[in-house]
Copies of this chain bind each other. A is one copy, B any other.
Protein backbone atom coordinates (compact mmCIF):
# COMPACT_ATOMS: atom_id res chain seq x y z
CA UNK A 1 0.00 0.00 0.00
CA UNK A 2 1.25 3.47 -0.79
CA UNK A 3 1.13 6.47 1.56
CA UNK A 4 -2.30 7.70 0.56
CA UNK A 5 -3.88 4.25 0.80
CA UNK A 6 -2.32 3.65 4.22
CA UNK A 7 -3.43 7.01 5.58
CA UNK A 8 -6.81 6.72 3.81
CA UNK A 9 -7.54 3.38 5.49
CA UNK A 10 -6.71 4.93 8.86
CA UNK A 11 -8.96 7.89 8.15
CA UNK A 12 -11.87 5.63 7.18
CA UNK A 13 -11.43 3.62 10.39
CA UNK A 14 -11.47 6.80 12.44
CA UNK A 15 -14.55 8.08 10.60
CA UNK A 16 -16.68 5.45 12.32
CA UNK A 17 -15.96 6.76 15.83
CA UNK A 18 -16.49 10.37 14.77
CA UNK A 19 -20.01 9.58 13.55
CA UNK A 20 -21.32 8.95 17.03
CA UNK A 21 -18.94 10.90 19.26
CA UNK A 22 -20.85 12.74 22.00
CA UNK A 23 -20.79 16.53 21.86
CA UNK A 24 -19.19 16.80 25.31
CA UNK A 25 -16.32 14.63 24.30
CA UNK A 26 -15.68 16.67 21.17
CA UNK A 27 -15.76 19.94 23.11
CA UNK A 28 -13.52 18.60 25.84
CA UNK A 29 -10.99 17.35 23.28
CA UNK A 30 -10.88 20.74 21.55
CA UNK A 31 -10.23 22.53 24.84
CA UNK A 32 -7.51 20.06 25.84
CA UNK A 33 -5.85 20.44 22.44
CA UNK A 34 -5.96 24.23 22.78
CA UNK A 35 -4.19 23.91 26.15
CA UNK A 36 -1.68 21.43 24.78
CA UNK A 37 -0.72 23.68 21.85
CA UNK A 38 0.13 26.43 24.36
CA UNK A 39 1.89 24.04 26.74
CA UNK A 40 4.08 22.90 23.85
CA UNK A 41 4.61 26.31 22.30
CA UNK A 42 8.41 26.07 22.65
CA UNK A 43 8.61 23.00 20.42
CA UNK A 44 6.13 24.44 17.94
CA UNK A 45 7.91 27.77 17.67
CA UNK A 46 11.25 25.98 17.34
CA UNK A 47 9.88 23.95 14.43
CA UNK A 48 8.44 27.11 12.89
CA UNK A 49 11.88 28.74 13.18
CA UNK A 50 13.30 25.98 10.97
CA UNK A 51 10.61 26.64 8.35
CA UNK A 52 11.36 30.37 8.51
CA UNK A 53 15.10 29.79 8.18
CA UNK A 54 14.50 27.64 5.12
CA UNK A 55 12.19 30.30 3.72
CA UNK A 56 14.81 33.03 4.13
CA UNK A 57 17.43 30.82 2.47
CA UNK A 58 15.03 30.19 -0.42
CA UNK A 59 14.50 33.93 -0.79
CA UNK A 60 10.80 33.96 0.17
CA UNK A 61 9.19 37.42 -0.01
CA UNK A 62 8.76 39.14 3.39
CA UNK A 63 4.94 39.17 3.07
CA UNK A 64 4.91 35.40 2.61
CA UNK A 65 7.36 34.96 5.47
CA UNK A 66 4.91 36.81 7.67
CA UNK A 67 2.10 34.41 6.73
CA UNK A 68 4.39 31.53 7.64
CA UNK A 69 5.45 32.94 11.02
CA UNK A 70 4.02 31.64 14.29
CA UNK A 71 4.46 33.62 17.52
CA UNK A 72 3.29 33.10 21.07
CA UNK A 73 0.52 35.61 20.42
CA UNK A 74 -0.58 33.79 17.26
CA UNK A 75 -0.61 30.47 19.09
CA UNK A 76 -2.81 32.06 21.72
CA UNK A 77 -5.20 33.22 18.98
CA UNK A 78 -5.24 29.70 17.57
CA UNK A 79 -6.03 28.22 20.99
CA UNK A 80 -8.74 30.82 21.61
CA UNK A 81 -10.29 30.05 18.20
CA UNK A 82 -10.38 26.37 19.11
CA UNK A 83 -12.15 27.11 22.40
CA UNK A 84 -14.69 29.21 20.51
CA UNK A 85 -15.44 26.31 18.18
CA UNK A 86 -15.90 24.09 21.24
CA UNK A 87 -18.51 26.56 22.50
CA UNK A 88 -20.57 26.46 19.26
CA UNK A 89 -23.67 24.27 19.01
CA UNK A 90 -23.05 20.78 17.63
CA UNK A 91 -24.73 20.51 14.20
CA UNK A 92 -24.73 16.69 14.18
CA UNK A 93 -27.95 14.82 14.93
CA UNK A 94 -30.28 17.73 14.12
CA UNK A 95 -33.57 16.51 12.65
CA UNK A 96 -33.84 18.76 9.60
CA UNK A 97 -37.26 17.49 8.44
CA UNK A 98 -39.68 14.75 9.34
CA UNK A 99 -42.92 13.47 7.89
CA UNK A 100 -44.88 10.26 7.34
CA UNK A 101 -44.98 8.44 4.00
CA UNK A 102 -48.33 7.31 2.55
CA UNK A 103 -47.45 3.79 3.64
CA UNK A 104 -47.17 4.92 7.27
CA UNK A 105 -43.37 4.83 7.44
CA UNK A 106 -41.93 7.62 9.62
CA UNK A 107 -39.12 9.42 7.82
CA UNK A 108 -36.59 11.82 9.32
CA UNK A 109 -33.85 13.74 7.55
CA UNK A 110 -30.99 13.88 10.02
CA UNK A 111 -27.79 15.93 9.84
CA UNK A 112 -24.69 13.72 9.75
CA UNK A 113 -20.97 14.32 9.19
CA UNK A 114 -19.57 14.37 5.68
CA UNK A 115 -16.96 11.73 6.58
CA UNK A 116 -13.36 12.48 5.66
CA UNK A 117 -12.65 16.05 4.60
CA UNK A 118 -9.46 16.70 2.66
CA UNK A 119 -7.99 20.18 2.91
CA UNK A 120 -5.18 21.34 0.65
CA UNK A 121 -3.57 24.62 1.61
CA UNK A 122 -0.47 26.71 1.40
CA UNK A 123 2.03 28.16 3.85
CA UNK A 124 -0.27 29.34 6.62
CA UNK A 125 0.40 26.98 9.54
CA UNK A 126 -2.65 28.33 11.45
CA UNK A 127 -4.89 26.54 8.93
CA UNK A 128 -3.80 23.22 10.45
CA UNK A 129 -5.42 23.67 13.90
CA UNK A 130 -8.24 25.91 12.56
CA UNK A 131 -9.39 23.46 9.89
CA UNK A 132 -9.06 20.51 12.27
CA UNK A 133 -11.24 22.15 14.91
CA UNK A 134 -14.09 22.84 12.45
CA UNK A 135 -13.93 19.38 10.88
CA UNK A 136 -13.73 17.70 14.29
CA UNK A 137 -16.65 19.63 15.80
CA UNK A 138 -18.77 18.75 12.76
CA UNK A 139 -17.95 15.06 13.21
CA UNK A 140 -15.47 14.73 10.37
CA UNK A 141 -12.00 13.30 10.01
CA UNK A 142 -9.45 15.88 8.78
CA UNK A 143 -7.06 14.79 6.06
CA UNK A 144 -4.69 17.75 5.79
CA UNK A 145 -2.06 18.60 3.24
CA UNK A 146 -0.33 21.88 4.03
CA UNK A 147 2.41 23.57 2.08
CA UNK A 148 5.93 22.13 2.06
CA UNK A 149 7.14 25.53 3.33
CA UNK A 150 5.53 24.99 6.72
CA UNK A 151 5.96 21.25 7.05
CA UNK A 152 8.03 21.41 10.25
CA UNK A 153 5.46 23.66 11.93
CA UNK A 154 2.62 21.38 10.81
CA UNK A 155 4.33 18.20 11.97
CA UNK A 156 5.05 19.75 15.38
CA UNK A 157 1.47 20.95 15.90
CA UNK A 158 -0.11 17.74 14.64
CA UNK A 159 2.09 15.68 16.92
CA UNK A 160 0.88 17.64 19.95
CA UNK A 161 -2.74 17.42 18.80
CA UNK A 162 -2.61 13.69 18.11
CA UNK A 163 -0.89 12.99 21.44
CA UNK A 164 -3.66 14.85 23.23
CA UNK A 165 -6.33 12.88 21.36
CA UNK A 166 -4.63 9.63 22.30
CA UNK A 167 -4.47 10.67 25.96
CA UNK A 168 -8.24 11.16 25.81
CA UNK A 169 -8.74 7.67 24.31
CA UNK A 170 -9.71 9.09 20.94
CA UNK A 171 -8.24 7.42 17.87
CA UNK A 172 -5.64 10.00 16.77
CA UNK A 173 -6.34 9.15 13.14
CA UNK A 174 -9.26 11.57 13.27
CA UNK A 175 -6.43 13.97 12.33
CA UNK A 176 -4.24 12.92 9.44
CA UNK A 177 -1.41 15.10 8.17
CA UNK A 178 0.18 14.24 4.86
CA UNK A 179 3.87 14.66 5.68
CA UNK A 180 4.98 13.74 2.18
CA UNK A 181 4.25 16.99 0.34
CA UNK A 182 5.52 15.85 -3.07
CA UNK A 183 3.49 16.65 -6.16
CA UNK A 184 2.89 12.99 -6.98
CA UNK A 185 1.49 12.27 -3.54
CA UNK A 186 -0.82 15.26 -3.45
CA UNK A 187 -2.06 14.26 -6.91
CA UNK A 188 -2.84 10.81 -5.53
CA UNK A 189 -4.65 12.42 -2.62
CA UNK A 190 -6.86 14.35 -5.04
CA UNK A 191 -7.89 11.07 -6.65
CA UNK A 192 -8.46 9.06 -3.48
CA UNK A 193 -12.26 8.89 -3.86
CA UNK A 194 -12.36 5.72 -1.78
CA UNK A 195 -11.04 7.56 1.26
CA UNK A 196 -11.90 11.26 1.02
CA UNK A 197 -15.49 12.50 0.70
CA UNK A 198 -14.87 16.13 -0.17
CA UNK A 199 -11.85 18.29 -0.90
CA UNK A 200 -11.57 21.95 0.11
CA UNK A 201 -8.63 23.88 -1.32
CA UNK A 202 -7.64 26.97 0.66
CA UNK A 203 -5.30 29.40 -0.98
CA UNK A 204 -4.73 31.47 -4.08
CA UNK A 205 -6.35 31.17 -7.48
CA UNK A 206 -3.55 28.96 -8.80
CA UNK A 207 -3.92 26.36 -6.05
CA UNK A 208 -7.69 26.28 -6.45
CA UNK A 209 -7.54 25.91 -10.23
CA UNK A 210 -5.04 23.08 -9.95
CA UNK A 211 -7.20 21.20 -7.42
CA UNK A 212 -10.38 21.65 -9.52
CA UNK A 213 -8.61 20.37 -12.62
CA UNK A 214 -6.90 17.41 -11.01
CA UNK A 215 -9.35 16.17 -8.39
CA UNK A 216 -11.83 13.38 -8.99
CA UNK A 217 -13.16 13.90 -5.44
CA UNK A 218 -15.95 16.49 -5.20
CA UNK A 219 -14.37 19.89 -4.55
CA UNK A 220 -15.77 22.94 -2.80
CA UNK A 221 -14.19 25.94 -4.45
CA UNK A 222 -13.40 28.64 -1.93
CA UNK A 223 -12.80 31.56 -3.86
CA UNK A 224 -11.35 34.54 -5.32
CA UNK A 225 -13.49 37.64 -5.09
CA UNK A 226 -13.64 40.17 -7.91
CA UNK A 227 -16.32 42.10 -6.02
CA UNK A 228 -18.27 44.85 -7.78
CA UNK A 229 -20.09 47.88 -6.39
CA UNK A 230 -22.66 49.71 -8.52
CA UNK A 231 -23.51 53.33 -7.71
CA UNK A 232 -27.01 53.82 -9.09
CA UNK A 233 -28.20 57.24 -10.26
CA UNK A 234 -30.40 57.51 -7.17
CA UNK A 235 -27.57 56.72 -4.74
CA UNK A 236 -26.88 58.77 -1.63
CA UNK A 237 -23.42 60.03 -2.52
CA UNK A 238 -22.13 60.17 1.04
CA UNK A 239 -23.31 56.61 1.69
CA UNK A 240 -21.70 55.45 -1.55
CA UNK A 241 -18.36 57.05 -0.61
CA UNK A 242 -18.43 55.48 2.86
CA UNK A 243 -19.28 52.01 1.58
CA UNK A 244 -16.73 52.09 -1.23
CA UNK A 245 -13.99 53.35 1.07
CA UNK A 246 -14.80 50.58 3.53
CA UNK A 247 -15.07 47.86 0.92
CA UNK A 248 -11.86 48.89 -0.84
CA UNK A 249 -9.55 49.94 1.96
CA UNK A 250 -10.62 48.51 5.31
CA UNK A 251 -8.59 45.39 4.52
CA UNK A 252 -7.14 45.28 1.07
CA UNK A 253 -5.89 41.73 0.57
CA UNK A 254 -9.11 39.85 1.30
CA UNK A 255 -11.59 38.18 -1.01
CA UNK A 256 -14.57 40.36 0.03
CA UNK A 257 -12.81 43.64 -0.76
CA UNK A 258 -14.20 45.68 -3.68
CA UNK A 259 -12.19 45.58 -6.89
CA UNK A 260 -14.43 47.25 -9.44
CA UNK A 261 -16.82 50.18 -9.33
CA UNK A 262 -19.68 50.81 -11.77
CA UNK A 263 -21.17 54.30 -11.77
CA UNK A 264 -24.44 55.34 -13.41
CA UNK A 265 -23.78 58.01 -16.04
CA UNK A 266 -26.38 60.36 -14.55
CA UNK A 267 -24.57 60.59 -11.22
CA UNK A 268 -21.00 60.40 -12.53
CA UNK A 269 -20.38 64.17 -12.76
CA UNK A 270 -21.33 64.66 -9.15
CA UNK A 271 -19.88 61.45 -7.79
CA UNK A 272 -16.52 60.84 -9.46
CA UNK A 273 -14.75 64.03 -8.33
CA UNK A 274 -15.90 63.33 -4.76
CA UNK A 275 -14.62 59.76 -5.07
CA UNK A 276 -11.27 60.95 -6.42
CA UNK A 277 -10.98 63.35 -3.51
CA UNK A 278 -11.91 60.72 -0.93
CA UNK A 279 -9.79 57.84 -2.27
CA UNK A 280 -7.41 59.45 -4.72
CA UNK A 281 -4.32 59.53 -2.55
CA UNK A 282 -4.63 56.07 -1.09
CA UNK A 283 -6.08 54.16 -4.04
CA UNK A 284 -5.10 54.03 -7.69
CA UNK A 285 -8.28 54.57 -9.72
CA UNK A 286 -8.38 53.06 -13.21
CA UNK A 287 -11.28 54.45 -15.24
CA UNK A 288 -12.81 53.92 -18.64
CA UNK A 289 -12.72 56.79 -21.14
CA UNK A 290 -15.73 58.67 -19.76
CA UNK A 291 -14.67 58.29 -16.15
CA UNK A 292 -11.19 59.61 -16.93
CA UNK A 293 -12.81 62.54 -18.75
CA UNK A 294 -14.73 63.47 -15.61
CA UNK A 295 -11.95 62.77 -13.11
CA UNK A 296 -8.64 63.14 -14.94
CA UNK A 297 -6.71 61.91 -11.92
CA UNK A 298 -7.63 58.40 -12.98
CA UNK A 299 -5.42 56.15 -15.11
CA UNK A 300 -7.02 54.47 -18.11
CA UNK A 301 -8.30 50.96 -17.45
CA UNK A 302 -7.74 48.19 -19.99
CA UNK A 303 -10.07 45.27 -20.75
CA UNK A 304 -7.92 43.18 -18.39
CA UNK A 305 -8.76 45.41 -15.44
CA UNK A 306 -12.45 44.43 -15.43
CA UNK A 307 -11.63 40.82 -14.66
CA UNK A 308 -8.81 41.46 -12.18
CA UNK A 309 -8.91 40.80 -8.42
CA UNK A 310 -6.18 43.28 -7.42
CA UNK A 311 -5.98 42.50 -3.69
CA UNK A 312 -4.25 45.89 -3.61
CA UNK A 313 -4.99 49.63 -3.39
CA UNK A 314 -6.37 49.73 -6.93
CA UNK A 315 -10.00 50.11 -8.06
CA UNK A 316 -11.34 49.95 -11.61
CA UNK A 317 -14.13 52.40 -12.48
CA UNK A 318 -16.62 52.06 -15.33
CA UNK A 319 -19.53 54.26 -16.37
CA UNK A 320 -22.79 52.45 -17.24
CA UNK A 321 -26.03 53.75 -18.73
CA UNK A 322 -28.48 51.68 -16.73
CA UNK A 323 -28.99 49.11 -14.02
CA UNK A 324 -29.27 46.58 -16.86
CA UNK A 325 -25.80 47.36 -18.08
CA UNK A 326 -24.47 47.23 -14.52
CA UNK A 327 -26.01 43.78 -13.98
CA UNK A 328 -24.76 42.46 -17.29
CA UNK A 329 -21.22 43.75 -16.77
CA UNK A 330 -21.07 42.44 -13.21
CA UNK A 331 -22.33 38.98 -14.14
CA UNK A 332 -19.73 38.85 -16.89
CA UNK A 333 -16.64 39.89 -14.97
CA UNK A 334 -17.25 39.08 -11.29
CA UNK A 335 -16.32 35.80 -9.63
CA UNK A 336 -19.74 35.22 -8.05
CA UNK A 337 -18.50 36.14 -4.56
CA UNK A 338 -20.05 39.43 -3.29
CA UNK A 339 -21.46 42.44 -5.13
CA UNK A 340 -23.34 45.53 -3.97
CA UNK A 341 -25.67 48.21 -5.30
CA UNK A 342 -25.97 51.66 -3.71
CA UNK A 343 -29.41 52.98 -4.59
CA UNK A 344 -32.44 54.78 -3.16
CA UNK A 345 -35.00 52.84 -5.20
CA UNK A 346 -36.37 49.52 -4.03
CA UNK A 347 -37.01 48.48 -7.60
CA UNK A 348 -33.35 48.68 -8.61
CA UNK A 349 -32.23 47.13 -5.33
CA UNK A 350 -34.54 44.16 -5.93
CA UNK A 351 -33.42 43.77 -9.53
CA UNK A 352 -29.75 43.77 -8.52
CA UNK A 353 -30.34 41.37 -5.63
CA UNK A 354 -32.32 38.99 -7.82
CA UNK A 355 -30.37 39.15 -11.06
CA UNK A 356 -26.76 39.25 -9.89
CA UNK A 357 -25.54 35.67 -9.76
CA UNK A 358 -23.34 35.82 -6.65
CA UNK A 359 -23.15 34.07 -3.31
CA UNK A 360 -23.85 37.35 -1.48
CA UNK A 361 -25.60 40.36 -2.98
CA UNK A 362 -25.94 43.63 -1.06
CA UNK A 363 -28.11 46.71 -1.27
CA UNK A 364 -26.61 49.70 0.55
CA UNK A 365 -23.98 47.87 2.61
CA UNK A 366 -20.31 46.99 2.28
CA UNK A 367 -19.21 43.71 0.67
CA UNK A 368 -16.86 43.27 3.62
CA UNK A 369 -19.70 41.64 5.60
CA UNK A 370 -19.33 38.39 3.64
CA UNK A 371 -17.77 36.42 6.46
CA UNK A 372 -18.86 33.50 8.60
CA UNK A 373 -18.37 35.47 11.81
CA UNK A 374 -20.26 38.53 10.52
CA UNK A 375 -23.09 36.23 9.38
CA UNK A 376 -23.29 34.80 12.89
CA UNK A 377 -22.00 31.31 12.04
CA UNK A 378 -19.36 31.56 14.79
CA UNK A 379 -16.70 30.10 12.51
CA UNK A 380 -15.67 29.87 8.89
CA UNK A 381 -13.75 27.30 6.89
CA UNK A 382 -13.88 29.44 3.74
CA UNK A 383 -16.23 31.21 1.36
CA UNK A 384 -17.65 29.06 -1.40
CA UNK A 385 -18.04 30.59 -4.85
CA UNK A 386 -19.66 27.51 -6.33
CA UNK A 387 -23.33 26.66 -6.29
CA UNK A 388 -23.15 22.98 -5.39
CA UNK A 389 -23.58 22.06 -1.71
CA UNK A 390 -22.57 25.34 -0.08
CA UNK A 391 -22.49 28.92 -1.29
CA UNK A 392 -20.95 31.90 0.51
CA UNK A 393 -19.48 31.68 4.02
CA UNK A 394 -19.17 28.08 5.23
CA UNK A 395 -19.51 27.36 8.93
CA UNK A 396 -20.02 24.06 10.74
CA UNK A 397 -23.33 23.17 9.02
CA UNK A 398 -21.73 23.48 5.61
CA UNK A 399 -19.31 20.69 6.62
CA UNK A 400 -22.19 18.25 7.11
CA UNK A 401 -24.41 16.03 4.98
CA UNK A 402 -27.68 14.32 5.85
CA UNK A 403 -29.25 10.88 5.77
CA UNK A 404 -32.82 9.63 5.73
CA UNK A 405 -33.85 7.40 8.64
CA UNK A 406 -37.07 5.47 8.04
CA UNK A 407 -38.96 3.51 10.70
CA UNK A 408 -41.75 1.15 9.71
CA UNK A 409 -43.60 -1.88 11.00
CA UNK A 410 -43.26 -4.21 8.07
CA UNK A 411 -44.16 -1.99 5.11
CA UNK A 412 -43.48 -3.31 1.61
CA UNK A 413 -43.87 -1.50 -1.70
CA UNK A 414 -46.93 -2.34 -3.73
Beta-carbon contact of B406 and A365 below 8 Å: yes
* Chain B residues within an 8 Å CB radius of A361: 403-406
A11 at the interface (CB under 8 A from B): no
What's the minimum C-beta distance from A401 to chain B, rounded to whole angstroms? 4
26 pairs of residues in contact across A and B, judged by CB atoms under 8 Å: A19-B354, A19-B355, A101-B374, A101-B376, A102-B374, A105-B369, A112-B357, A114-B388, A115-B357, A198-B387, A213-B216, A243-B410, A246-B413, A247-B412, A250-B413, A354-B405, A358-B403, A361-B403, A361-B405, A363-B405, A365-B407, A369-B411, A374-B413, A388-B388, A389-B389, A391-B403
What's the minimum C-beta distance from A9 to chain B, rounded to whole angstroms? 12
> Across the two chains, which residue of chain B brings its CB closest to A360?
B404
> Across the two chains, which residue of chain B brings its CB closest to A361?
B405
A20 at the interface (CB under 8 A from B): yes
Q: Among residues 215 to 232 in chain A, which have CB atoms less than 8 Å away from a CB atom of chain B?
A: 216, 218-220
Number of copies: 2
Beta-carbon contact of A408 and B365 below 8 Å: yes
A363 to B243, CA, bound (A): 56
Q: Among residues 334 to 389 in chain A, which have CB atoms less than 8 Å away from a CB atom of chain B?
A: 349, 353-355, 357-366, 368-370, 374-376, 386-389
* Chain B residues within an 8 Å CB radius of A405: 353-354, 361, 363
* Chain B residues within an 8 Å CB radius of A114: 387-388
Beta-carbon contact of B374 and A401 below 8 Å: no
What's the minimum C-beta distance from A403 to chain B, rounded to whole angstroms? 6
Apart from A103-B369, A364-B408, 6 more pairs, CB < 8 Å: A107-B375, A212-B216, A368-B412, A369-B413, A374-B413, A391-B402
The interface bits of chain A over 390-410 (1 if a CB of B lies within 8 angstroms of the residue's CB, else 0) are: 011000000001111111111
Beta-carbon contact of A364 and B410 below 8 Å: yes
Return the 10 tightest CB-CB contacts between A and B, nearest first. A365-B408, A246-B412, A387-B401, A368-B413, A389-B389, A239-B410, A365-B411, A218-B388, A360-B404, A353-B405
Given contacts A365-B410, A408-B363, contact A115 B387 (CB under 8 A): yes
The interface bits of chain A over 265-306 (1 if a CB of B lies within 8 angstroms of the residue's CB, else 0) are: 000000000000000000000000000000000000000000
The interface bits of chain A over 112-135 (1 if a CB of B lies within 8 angstroms of the residue's CB, else 0) are: 101100000000000000000000
Instruction: Give the size of the chain A interface in residues (CB under 8 angstroms).
Output: 69
What's the minimum C-beta distance from A252 to chain B, rounded to whole angstroms? 13
What's the minimum C-beta distance from A10 to chain B, rounded to whole angstroms? 15
Beta-carbon contact of B359 and A403 below 8 Å: yes
A239 to B386, CA, bound (A): 46
A16 at the interface (CB under 8 A from B): yes
A103 to B374, CA, bound (A): 9
Beta-carbon contact of A410 and B242 below 8 Å: yes
* Chain B residues within an 8 Å CB radius of A245: 412
Beta-carbon contact of A363 and B403 below 8 Å: no
* Chain B residues within an 8 Å CB radius of A391: 401-404
